Structure 1
Amino acid sequence: MEPIFFVHITDIHLSKPGKQPLFGLTMSDKLHRVFTYIGKLETKPAFVVISGDLTHDGDLEDYRFLRSFLQEEERALGVPIHVALGNHDTREPFREGYLEEEPSDASYYYSFRNAGLRVVVLNTQVPGTHDGRLDAEQLDWLKQELAEPAPVGTILVHHHPVVLTPTAMMDSHLLQNPQDLAAAIEGSDVIGLLSGHIHFHNVGALGGVPCASADGVAFGLDPIAEGVMRMLDRSGFNFVLVKNGQMIVQPMTMPGEQRLLVEYDLKKLQAAHS
């Protein structure tokens, strides 16, 4: 079977035009630069998948703008763009504004196939919080989905990562029940997991299965800053290759100076709110 190449993007934090830009940055411009870069690649990707935090505020008009923006980028690239939800996303406006369905708080997860590869897009949101968790209903669905192997394997895409990070602070941003996910995929054809949320590249394994988080498109975080959240003007993503039954990931960073946007001292913030 021929190798399958695709692009994994995450944390785009789009807002409709006219809103006060986050950190003074127009996130749609940053995302467009990434898509322009992808469009110039010698090898055309089979698809693009975005693993959550599609918008920053989760408003209805943000999702309507996101829909028209991604439709335009799809036409330019000539490949499909698939999306997952993150902690900054809200389900009812997403379903109404992006999917053009009746508003609903139903969890959004699904699977799709490309040339023998199955991609399962999960929803790790805990509504009303920034936490990540997979509920029992979704885990049961996942087990049923994986009951029949796909020809070249399965990759899971979700927002909250499962791999430990360089700092205790960022470890608090991980999926809260990785053991349940590990049990659900044990003995299955899952060859890799892709996630976002932490805004830097991070690679490890869950029960022997490779896991890769991608840098954010909207901004990056300093992965080794302890006690502070140091946000940087940086955009990254992952090239992903499925070859010989393996998921191979190449972390990519767009050129730029990576200037400091803002730094939050978490102890000071906690003291101010105590």
Structure 2
Amino acid sequence: MLIAQITDIHLGFDPDNPAEFNRKRLDQVIAMLRELDPVPDMLLATGDLIDRGDEDSYRRLRNAFSVCPFPVHMCMGNHDQRDTFLSQFPDVPVADGFVQYEVDAGPIRLLVLDTLEEGRHGGAFCEVRANWLNARLAEQTARPTLIVQHHPPIEVGIEWMNTHPEEPWVQRLRNCLANRPNVIGMVCGHVHRAIVSQWNGFPVAICPSSAPQVALELAPIDPDRPDGRNMIIADPPAFALHWWNGRELITHYETADEHVMLARFDEKMQPLVRSLLAERPV
């Protein structure tokens, strides 16, 4: 099973521009995903779908996704607005007022979580959401399960984008997912960078953004002393591919940019490919 992921689209950052930079970047990613072989089984869009919570941006997002030949499953980020989102995507499931739902993906299942607290940049996960998650996890204790959400529950080293490990919502989520050996991983967005870590005994894969990326600056930051450091950079739009091979979840990161090709599978490369494949068990 092949699951594509895009995140932090921020459509509508430049709302009055019909040739908006972020829309071009989104279209670039979708075009590359449509050309993949094999084509992904589904696409996850993990929050900050739009930038200002406005209806027109969600309408244009729906238009952008309309060309996808695979289902698109979305979750809420801190720039999203639930009611406005649901006015344009009324078929997305809701639980107790939150955009939380299960996706039956054949060999695995996905639990999509809502970590939005409107007006707050960081994540949130209240008792109502936790009760829903615990109930879903209790229903199938052996089936491989992937957690999907916007905010990563980990420190990433970029201080102005960090999540503190002792935040109440992190502790609540940790308690829900503790001792769940069937949870194969968590995929997130929010940080605008490709990052991989371990948390609660399973891997956390943070997807880079289709919008501009966050600069890699690991030095402490003093909010009272602007030091001119890089914060946002116009690196190419990016996405993730999560491959479930029946045993492990393998994550690849890619940019939707032109690549300079140095070798192709032709007669010159054929002996190498044959020798590599011949080393493997039949």
Give the counterpart letter for 1:191 in structure 2. Answer: I
Q: How many residues align?
A: 245
**Residue of structure 1 in register with 2:245 after alignment:** 243
Bigger radius of gyration among the two: 2
In the TM superposition, what is the alpha-carbon distance from 1:151 to its structure 2 partner?
6.8
- 2:231 aligned counterpart, secondary structure: strand
Please give the residue correspondences for 1:208-219 in structure 2 after superposition, counting only pairs within 5 Å.
Answer: 208-219=201-212
Structure 2 residue matching 1:147: 3-state secondary structure: helix
Residue 21 of structure 2 is aligned to residue 19 of structure 1: no
Query: Which one of 155, 172, 186 corresponds to residue 180 of structure 1?
Result: 172
Q: Is the 8 A contact 2:212 2:232 kept in 1?
A: yes
SS at match of 2:30: helix
Cα distance change on mapping 1:51 and 1:36 into 2, 3 Å: same
Q: CA RMSD, aligned part only?
A: 2.6
1:113 is matched with 104
Choose from 41, 50, 55 the match for 1:46. 41
Residues 96-245 of structure 1: pairs in structure 2 closer than 5 A: 96-99=87-90, 106-149=97-140, 152-172=143-163, 176=167, 177-188=169-180, 189-226=182-219, 227=221, 228=229, 230-234=231-235, 235-245=237-247
Q: Please give the secondary structure, in 2, of the residue aligned with 1:200.
A: coil
The 3 A distance-change label for structure 1 pair 256 and 58 is: farther
Matched-pair contact (CA < 8 Å) for 1:161–1:174: no
The TM-score, its normalising length taken from structure 2, stands at 0.79
Q: Which runs of 5+ in 2 are unaligned?
A: 222-228, 260-282
Give the Å deviation of 1:16: 9.2
Aligned to 1:87, the other structure's residue is in SS state coil
- State the match for 2:4 in structure 1: 7
For residues 76-113 of structure 1, give each alpha carbon's deviation from its aligned partner in whole angstroms, at most 9, with x where no partner exists: xx210110110000112111123279xxx932111111
Structure 1 residues without counterparts, runs of 5 or longer: 258-274
Moved more, 232-241 or 62-71: 62-71
Fraction of identical pairs, as percent: 27
- Structure-1 separation of matches of 2:110 and 2:74: 11
**Partner SS for 1:178:** helix
The answer on whether the counterparts of 2:10 and 2:22 sit within 8 Å (CA) in structure 1 is: yes
Tell me the equivalent position of 1:56: 51
Question: Do 1:159 and 1:196's aligned partners in 2 also have CA atoms closer than 8 Å?
Answer: yes
Q: 1:68 to 1:55 in 2, by over 3 A?
A: same
| Equivalent pair of 2:9/2:22 in contact (CA under 8 Å) | yes
- For residues 201 and 142 of structure 1, what CA distance do their matches in structure 2 show? 26
Q: How far 1:196 sits from its partner (Å)?
A: 0.6
TM (norm. structure 1) is 0.81
* 2: CA distance, partners of 1:67 / 1:57: 16
Return the alpha-carbon distance in structure 1 between the equivalents of residues 3 and 59 of structure 2: 25
Instruction: Considering fraction of residues, name the structure with more strand.
Output: 1
Q: Does structure 2 retain, via aligned residues, the 8 Å contact 1:118–1:150?
A: no
Deviation of 1:62 after TM superposition, in Å, equals: 1.4
1:102-130 C-alpha deviation (Å, 9 max, x unpaired): xxx93211111111311111111111121
Q: Distance in 2 between matches of 1:117 and 1:150?
A: 12
Confirm or deny that 1:65 pairs with 2:60.
yes
Is this contact kept in 1: 2:159–2:218, CA < 8 A?
A: no
